[in-house]
Amino acid sequence: MRRKGRIDEPTEAAIARAAEALRAGALVAFPTETVYGLGADAGSDKAVAALYAAKDRPRFNPLIAHVADLPAARAVADFDTRAEALAHAFWPGPLTLVLPARRDGGVCLLARAGLDTVAVRAPAHPVARALLAEVGGPIAAPSANHSGDVSPTEASHVADAFGDEVEMILDGGPCAVGLESTIIDLSAPKPVLLRPGGLPRVALEEVIGSLHSLADGFITCLSTDRPTAPGQLARHYAPRLPVRLEAQEVEPGEALLAFGKDVPRGAAETLNLSEQGDLVEAATRLFAYLRRLDRTAARGIAVMPIPGDGLGEAINDRLRRAATPHEGTS
C-alpha cells in the first residue's frame, strides 16, 4: 500500500496517479517554475474546502486556477485583447491574469472567494503541464505551504509542511524562478499590477502600456478585507524569526540575508542571495535561504538592501511582507 504524502519522481505513471487523485478530490503537490503548488480540483467545492483547511487559509483569499494552455484558459475566463496579448507574449510562464469568470468555466465559487473574477495561469514547468494535460481541467493551486509561511521551492519543503496531509508530492527539482507569479488585474478598464512576481513590470508594460500599481498605495492594498487575488495579505511569506530590512550592519545574535560583495561581518550565520548582485539568482534563492536562516538559533534575520528594479520589485515586496510584525506585536 502506498504511503500518503510520499515524494514521487514525475514518471508518466506517477502523473497519471496524481491526476486520478485530484479527480477523486484529494490534494496533490506539484512543481511550477515559480514555487511548488498545492493542488485541488478547481471545480469541486469539497476539494477546495479541504485545500483551504490544509493551508489554514482565510476563505476570502482567492486561489489561482492553473490551466494547460490558452484555449483551456479561455474556457475558464473571458479574455479581451489585452489578456490575449499578454497570454501570447508570456504563457506558459509566471504570469497570472485576473479576468471576468465564465459562468460555466469549471472554477467553483469557493475557489474564487465569491468573486465574479477568476485568477488564471498557464505554468511553464513540464511536470505541471503534464499533470494539467492529464487532469483535463483547471487545478486550484496556491503555494504548498501553510498560509503566511515561506513559500516552498523544493519538494522537501512541502513534505516538511504537510506530511501525509497530501496524497502525493511530485518532485520536479528546485524551482527555476523561485518567486510567485506576477498578477495583473484586467477586470477593469485600466490594468493593475496586484502582485509583482517572476515577470518584471517593464516586460508587461512593453505589451499593454503603463500599469496602475497597488504598491504605490501599499498599506491600502495590504489592509484590504477582501483581496481580489492571492498574495495581497499584509503578513505573508513570513519566517518564524523577526525580519529587519535595509540592514547596513548586523546586530548581536542576528543572522544575515546578504546581497552583493560588500557584506558586514558578525552575523550568527550568513547566506548571500547573490554575491554578484544578480537579481535573477537572488529570486531563485530567496525562499530557500529564508527557510534555512529561520531554522538557526539566531534571534532575528537582518536583510541587506536590495535594488528595486526588475525582479527586485518582487523580491522587496516579499521581504516587506515577511517583515510585517505578527498580529499583536509591534
Q: Which pLDDT score is estimated for 222? A: 39
Domain with CATH 3.90.870.10 in the chain: 6-222
- How far is Cα 41 from Cα 54, in angstroms, rounded to an integer? 14
Q: Which pLDDT score is estimated for 301? A: 97
Q: Which CATH number fits domain 243-323: 3.30.43.10, 3.40.1710.10, 3.40.190.10, 3.40.50.11030?
A: 3.40.50.11030
Residue 318 · residue 153 · CB < 8 Å:
no
**Residue 30 pairs with which residues in a beta bridge?**
37
| C-alpha cell belonging to residue 94 | 509566471
Domain with CATH 3.40.50.11030 in the chain: 243-323
In CATH terms, the fold of domain 6-222 is DHBP synthase (3.90.870)
Q: Which pLDDT score is estimated for 310? A: 85
Q: Which pLDDT score is estimated for 2? A: 65
Low-confidence ranges of the chain (pLDDT < 70): 1-2, 57-60, 214-237, 326-330
Q: Which pLDDT score is estimated for 61? A: 76
Q: Which residues of 98-118 are buried (b: 16+ CB within 10 A; e: fewer)?
A: bbbbeeebbbbebbbbebebb
Q: How many residues does the chain have?
A: 330
